[in-house]
């Protein structure tokens, strides 16, 4: 069973096999975690994302899917990019959010990653309520069969850390 740990801090400074990027569908960088990973990781990540777009994802990476690139200058071997759903009051998109975590673990398994750092996917600019996002993240990681030994949720602030701590129980 995967060990789940919580850390408050900057995901770009965590030394793990794979860092998960809460990417936008373009894969070309953006704000929040996505922008920070691209800035800190450097041009190697952007070049790899451009190559992925050219070869497979011309219209963008679909929501809930995940792909990997080298990590550039990050203290990790790989970046796993996943596109979280935008939260909606009208439509239950929880399955797409859970898919981000499942697909990221699947890609981590393909890479042979033993340690993976996740942000709180979709809980920033995409508006997902933090407590619900934390619950979905923790439940999905616990319920997904994986060879990953440790999933580390790297949470930017105290509020997110508290929400994940409550979900972890």
Residue that has been written with the tokens 């996505």 in this structure:
34
Residue 140 tokens, joined: 């999905």
| Residue 116: strand, helix, or coil | strand
* Catalytic positions, written as ranges: 34
* E strand map for 9-163: 16-23, 66-70, 76-83, 115-118, 150-155
Closest C-alpha among 110, 52, 114, 44 to residue 83: 52
Q: How far apart (Å, rounded) are the C-alpha atoms in residues 138 and 42?
A: 30
């Amino acid at each position: 069973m995967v060990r789940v740990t919580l850390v408050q801090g900057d995901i770009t400074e965590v030394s793990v096999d794979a860092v998960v990027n809460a990417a936008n569908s373009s894969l070309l960088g953006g704000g929040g975690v996505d922008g920070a990973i691209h800035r800190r990781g450097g041009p190697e990540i952007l070049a790899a994302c451009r190559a992925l777009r050219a070869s497979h994802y011309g219209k963008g990476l679909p929501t809930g899917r995940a792909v990997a690139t080298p990590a550039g200058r990050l203290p990790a071997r790989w970046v796993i990019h996943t596109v979280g759903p935008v939260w909606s009051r009208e439509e239950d998109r929880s399955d797409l959010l859970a898919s981000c975590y499942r697909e990221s673990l699947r890609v981590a398994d393909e890479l042979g990653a033993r340690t993976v750092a996740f942000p709180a996917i979709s809980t920033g600019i995409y508006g997902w309520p933090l407590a619900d996002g934390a619950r979905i993240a923790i439940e999905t990681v616990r319920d997904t069969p994986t060879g990953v030994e440790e999933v580390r949720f790297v949470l930017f602030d105290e509020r997110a850390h508290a929400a994940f701590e409550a979900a972890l129980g």
